[in-house]
Amino acid sequence: MRRPPSSDVATSATSVASLPRLCPGRGAPIPASGVDRLVAVDSGGTFTDCVTLDAAGLVRSAKAPSTPDDFSEGVVQSVARAAAAEGVELEALLERTGSFCHGTTVATNALLTRSGSTVGLITTKGHEDAIIIGRTIQKAAGLSESELSNLAHLEKAVPIVPRPLIKGVTERIDYRGSVVVPLDTDEAAGAVAELVDAGVEAIAVCFLWSFLNPDHERAVAELIRSRHPHLFVTVSCEVAPVIKEYERCATTVLNGYLSRTTHAYISKLQQRLADGGLAKDPVVMQSIGGLTRAETSKGRAVTLLGSGPTGGVFGAAALGTLIGAENIVTTDVGGTSFDVGLVTDGEPLVVGTPVFDKYHTVLPVIDVVSIGAGGGSVAWIEPGTGLVKVGPQSAGAVPGPACYGAGGTRPTVTDANLLLGRLDADYFLGGQRRLHADLATAAIETHLAAPTGLSVHEAAMAVVDILDARMADLVRMSTIGRGYDPREFALFAFGGAGPLHVGAYAADVGTQRTVVPTNSAVFSAFGIAASDPVAVVQASDPMVAPFDGDRLDAVYAELTERAVEELAANGVAPADITATREVEMRYRGQVHEMRVPVPDGPLGGDSLAALMEEFRLRYNRRYGSGAAADSAVEARTFVVRGVGRQAKPALRPAPLGPEDPAAALVGERPVWFRPLGGFASTPIYRRELLEPGNGIEGQAMIEASDTTMLIHPGQRAEVDAWGNILLDTTGGTR
């Protein structure tokens, strides 16, 4: 097989000023002066991805293995590889960087591994056990259908604050915000002293109805800060000033629990980047989407929970506006997980009460559903049934799949794809890492083929089929389960393993339009780069329809002012800020709310009628026509999302070239396809050599330095004017 010379790092360059098609080579050197680089880094469980953009519109990307022992090392390595793609040292790139954006999983990892701070809780006397008791559904919260199959073995989440570290204090505020029982400051001081003596590193404060009157919480917080300035203090009236006692308390405690780990990581990363030449403070991706200063995020660690997959959803929304896709299913296949999000009418779907490791919170986040299914997912035999299972365990970056030759012995999806001819052992990550087929064969033979009586290749195909089926099921659950028809959505596939598997799971789901974006392997990092600073402010002030427009206007005016102040503190000019409004509504007597957009301008007769109609439409779409209850409607929580619009390089389409992709053909190799009865000779195309307008008939492979795409027999791929690959799966066989 002939191929162009490969770099020693997995990189690519894309000109977004004239296309965004992939361009071979390292690109032009960085000019001698000026600060014109935007750098975005997304840390995943297996790889850390970096994207750089310059003022001329050139996009470059690089990947490096993640470093779980110190994630900042993987960040620096990925940026160093991006610098190498430009032919310069790390320091030269950082000195030219005007904005450094980062998406991290450090908060999520700290929660899942229970490696957070020792946190204490001060709450209203008599309610000390609320966070321990939780809600009845907590045992099952956030679990998949397969995980719910054995109800007898379900347990509540492991408490993040031990019962001895929960102290009740005499005070009481009622549902109108009036003080019923004054705060006993002496008792509060004693409770704080007991927690300090117990060795807590952080204290969370959450009193009943504090979202209506925060005076007691703030008094206790000031007491702690004045006497124990070394402690991290978090209060619910600042973190989650909304109704729902348990969720508000859990959110506040989580913020304290994650404080030390997040603060240490971000501080170390700030120092390493500053030592390397970065002049400006980095900005960090939030779980609600949008960026905030790294320094600000140290005090709001809980806003980073689940922020890892957010970049890809925002990148899809931005790309969707260019190609005319308002409704999108985003699918991100990494090394560890498969993440699915939704964009409806051009906006990412938001959930107001997300679940993190069985803890319900009241922190609005981009609604992304994840399962343990990716390139590094381990395949295994279920004891008792003898069935082949894939995931959720992952081989991770270390030791990685067996074929890495780094000590891993368990078979993974990557091992299976290698044996099926769907990966090139000599061109994985652009030739940066050589894969060992003999080690993959040994792992699959020992752990799968021999126990099941299958051949090695049949066992490998079973692994891939199971993974594809699990991913298709999650797409259906994320769309049909929310009242949407996936056939009416465009499906975007990205992540390092997304293009390799999308031909199967998109065909299974039946989507009519499938898009593999340019830079798909680092698309989440690209989405982070495309994001703006965001401040989301919310408050609860329950009311029943018919609503008082003046009262609503006053609530939103205050929230908008707070959002503008927060963005201004992050360096955003008021003229660059736009604000959108939402409200959480429900029928009276129900438990869960539905988030509804609020019309712009003063709220009165027509706009309030439009708001009520929008609520009914969304309710019927979610729960079925005629499901709307014949009862009063409540508005519970009000939300303002402020966005600081920032100038970015303009993306412009390129003229279409020839349909014949012969110039990008670099060879062929045998690839296994079940409908063809085994291996079949398959043409191989180089992604960097494809031009807008090229069309490829399956079966075929498209290889890039950082990902591989599989086109099944009967499917067809086309490169559009933006450099994306459009895949038609309707005529294919798998």
CATH of the domain at 212: 3.40.50
Q: Would the pLDDT of 165 be above 50? A: yes
Our CA angle for 447, 451, 456, nearest 5°, is 65
Question: Based on the domain organization, do 121 and 253 belong to the same domain?
Answer: yes
* Residue 83, in any domain of the structure: no
Distance, CA of 688 to CA of 693 (rounded, Å): 14
Residue type, 242: V
Q: Which domain holds residue 538?
A: 534-644
Three-class SS of residue 201?
A: coil
Question: Based on the domain organization, do 681 and 637 belong to the same domain?
Answer: no
Q: Would the pLDDT of 33 be above 60? A: no
Name the pLDDT band for 589 (thresholds 50, 70, 90).
Answer: confident
Q: Would the pLDDT of 1 be above 60? A: no
* Residue 609, in any domain of the structure: yes
Name the pLDDT band for 258 (thresholds 50, 70, 90).
Answer: very high
User: Is residue 582 within a helix (H) or strand (E), and if so which, with residue range?
Assistant: strand 577-587
Q: Which residue has the higher pLDDT, 464 or 623?
A: 464
DSSP of 356-400: ETTEE----EE-EEEES-STTEEEEEPTTT--EEEEEEE-TTTT-
Question: Based on the domain organization, do 245 and 125 belong to the same domain?
Answer: yes
Partners of residue 365 on adjacent β-strands: 351
Domain boundary among 236, 257, 278: 257
* Residue 512, in any domain of the structure: no
Question: What pLDDT score was predicted for residue 148?
Answer: 67
* Residue 236, in any domain of the structure: yes
Residue type, 384: G
Question: What pLDDT score was predicted for residue 473?
Answer: 94
Question: What pLDDT score was predicted for residue 384?
Answer: 85
Question: What pLDDT score was predicted for residue 145?
Answer: 64
Q: Would the pLDDT of 181 be above 60? A: yes
Structure tokens given for 496: 């390092």
Three-class SS of residue 460?
A: helix
Question: What pLDDT score was predicted for residue 240?
Answer: 93
Distance, CA of 231 to CA of 698 (rounded, Å): 61
Question: Based on the domain organization, do 602 and 690 belong to the same domain?
Answer: no
Distances (CA, A) of 382 to 123, 150, 423, 513: 45, 15, 27, 36
Question: Based on the domain organization, do 599 and 696 belong to the same domain?
Answer: no
Question: Based on the domain organization, do 683 and 590 belong to the same domain?
Answer: no
Q: Which residues contact 553 (CB under 8 A, 6 or more apart)?
A: 602, 603
Question: What pLDDT score was predicted for residue 14?
Answer: 41
Cis peptide before 138 (omega within 30 of 0): no
The separation between the first and the last C-alpha atoms of the chain, rounded to the nearest angstrom, is: 25
Question: What pLDDT score was predicted for residue 734?
Answer: 56
Tally of domains within the chain: 3
Question: Based on the domain organization, do 154 and 251 belong to the same domain?
Answer: yes
Give the tens place of pLDDT for each residue, 610-665.
999 999 988 888 887 777 677 899 999 999 999 998 877 667 788 899 999 999 99
* Residue 670, in any domain of the structure: yes
Domain boundary among 227, 257, 287: 257
Do 619 and 628 touch, CB atoms closer than 8 A? yes
Give the tens place of pLDDT for each residue, 509-521.
999 899 999 889 8
pTM score of the predicted model: 0.86
Question: Based on the domain organization, do 671 and 639 belong to the same domain?
Answer: no
Structure tokens given for 465: 């089929």
Distance, CA of 324 to CA of 301 (rounded, Å): 36
Look-up: residue for tokens 């503190």? 569
Question: Based on the domain organization, do 178 and 129 belong to the same domain?
Answer: yes
Question: Based on the domain organization, do 572 and 675 belong to the same domain?
Answer: no
* Residue 243, in any domain of the structure: yes
Q: What percent of the chain has pLDDT over 90?
A: 67
* Residue 480, in any domain of the structure: no
Question: Based on the domain organization, do 128 and 198 belong to the same domain?
Answer: yes
Q: Which residue has the higher pLDDT, 713 or 137?
A: 713
Question: Based on the domain organization, do 155 and 232 belong to the same domain?
Answer: yes
Domain boundary among 599, 615, 644: 644
Residue type, 558: E
Question: What pLDDT score was predicted for residue 394?
Answer: 87
Give CA torsion, residues 105, 357, 214, 183, to 10 deg.
-130
* Residue 374, in any domain of the structure: no
